[in-house]
């Protein structure tokens, strides 16, 4: 079923985002008086095609990895004299800029609409209360302690662990002071803790901002009773079964599941001894742990337990009315756009590992997981992906929309376009950059497998 979700989620995501992006170009081109010859979603042989009253061909092609809007243009072939006024290259530079910019702007608008819908639907969020602080960690050195609720990061209010993580992600690769304001339930006054960062997680290819500070979020205690097993995991191979109660691991009592998790994570590829209770009797089972393949190299048991009921006072219901949700949608779109740009800048400057780049395989996996989690998670994924598409297309790289915008802005300032030779060089450089980045992202995807 997960494979089906992955395929359908990816097709829907690409279909929606590409269609909206190209529709932005199409809609503005029509209003600028440009004749659109073809609007295609996908590349290759058309599976479906039809024409409208303006003579535009609409097509859905076989390879769903993009799309394009083909406009009448003298640079791409002969144009009948009576249609010269509708050619793209005959329009003013301001109109050409508007047409090219419309695609990425449509992606930002789509993200804002999705965030607006999510804000009205509302969500249940977990209060960012610290459950435990690791000995010797950055959080302990700064004076953070179990039971504190984080109320702001660098002066910005936070209301959930999602907010905390988002603010911390914006500081990845940086050096300097990180201000974390916390408050305990016993005191109305808050305390500001200063954490000193030094190239924080600069070389990490799978950063865990909250965990790397030594903070473990509070969560209800889970009894160490197995509820599910990876059929190909170490636990299943060793003979563990659903319903087994783990009493101890390597002779250490396990009153809750987190004890097992911590012990396993610290011992990749090691052998551990589990004391379990099954059908009223106790027995010992030896398990050779595996190593997780997602970049953190932690130990892997291949077993899970049932979730527990969260106390009502640890949860927050967050929702907005139709008008207030507009502001929330725009704010989230802006924040994620800035974060995406800053992350790209850090990769270029070497402040963040390029292994954080993701390609089509990772996108497909996340699309499937979010689709399987529900409409809210899938809309959230679509919004983030739409922002990424918009930002990437605005980069000043020839071939991308941003590269064309640079050419047209130069033309606007100079009063005449750059020579065809310079533009051709730019296109060759742009193609090389895009191919290189795509290959790097694909290599990263394969490494994560």
Q: How far apart are CA 2 and CA 372, in angstroms?
A: 7
Angle at 108 between CA 12 and CA 39, to 5 degrees: 55
List, by residue number, the catalytic residues.
22
CA distance 440 to 430: 15
**Cα 340 to Cα 389: distance, rounded to the nearest angstrom:** 10
Q: Is the dihedral of CA 423, 401, 96, 49 positive or negative?
A: positive
Distant-in-sequence contacts of 85-88, Cβ < 8 A, 24+ apart:
85/33, 86/33, 86/34, 86/35, 87/34, 87/35, 88/29, 88/34
């Amino acid at each position: 079923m997960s494979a089906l979700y992955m395929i359908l989620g990816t097709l829907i995501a690409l279909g929606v985002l590409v269609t909206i992006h190209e529709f932005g170009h199409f809609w503005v081109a029509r209003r600028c008086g440009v004749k659109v010859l073809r609007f295609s979603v996908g590349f290759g042989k058309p599976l479906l095609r039809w024409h409208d009253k303006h003579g535009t061909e609409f097509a859905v092609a076989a390879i769903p990895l993009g799309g394009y809007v083909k406009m009448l243009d003298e640079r791409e072939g002969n144009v009948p004299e009576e249609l010269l006024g509708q050619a793209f290259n005959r329009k003013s530079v301001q109109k050409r800029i508007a047409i090219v910019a419309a695609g990425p702007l449509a992606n930002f608008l789509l993200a804002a609409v999705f965030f607006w819908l999510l804000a009205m639907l509302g969500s249940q969020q977990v209060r960012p209360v610290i459950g435990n602080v690791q000995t010797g960690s950055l959080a302990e050195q700064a004076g953070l302690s179990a039971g504190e609720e984080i109320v702001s990061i660098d002066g910005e209010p936070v209301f959930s662990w999602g907010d905390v993580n988002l603010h911390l992600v914006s500081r990845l690769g940086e050096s300097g002071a990180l201000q974390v304001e916390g408050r305990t339930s016993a005191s109305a006054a808050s305390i500001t803790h200063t954490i000193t960062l030094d190239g924080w997680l600069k070389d990490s290819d799978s950063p865990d901002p909250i965990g790397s500070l030594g903070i473990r979020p509070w969560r209800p205690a889970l009894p160490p009773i197995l509820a599910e097993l990876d059929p190909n995991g170490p636990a299943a191979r060793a003979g563990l079964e659903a319903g087994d109660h783990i009493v101890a691991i390597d002779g250490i009592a396990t009153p809750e599941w987190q004890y097992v998790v911590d012990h396993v994570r610290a011992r990749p590829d090691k052998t551990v001894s589990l004391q379990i209770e099954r059908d009223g009797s106790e027995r010992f089972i030896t398990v050779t742990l595996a190593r997780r393949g997602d970049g953190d190299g932690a130990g892997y048991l291949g077993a899970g337990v049932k979730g527990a009921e969260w106390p009502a006072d640890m949860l927050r219901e967050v929702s907005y009315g139709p008008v207030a949700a507009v502001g929330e949608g725009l704010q989230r779109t802006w924040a994620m756009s800035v974060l995406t740009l800053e992350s790209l800048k850090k990769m270029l400057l070497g402040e963040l590992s390029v292994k954080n780049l993701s390609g089509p395989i990772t996108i497909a996996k996340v699309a499937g997981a979010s689709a399987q989690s529900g409409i809210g998670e899938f809309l959230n994924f679509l919004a983030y992906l739409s922002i990424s598409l918009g930002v990437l297309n605005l980069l000043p790289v020839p071939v991308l929309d941003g590269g064309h915008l640079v050419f047209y802005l130069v033309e606007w300032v100079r009063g005449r376009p750059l020579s065809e030779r310079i533009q051709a060089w730019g296109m060759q450089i742009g193609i090389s950059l895009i191919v290189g980045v795509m290959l790097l992202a694909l290599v990263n995807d394969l490494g994560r497998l």
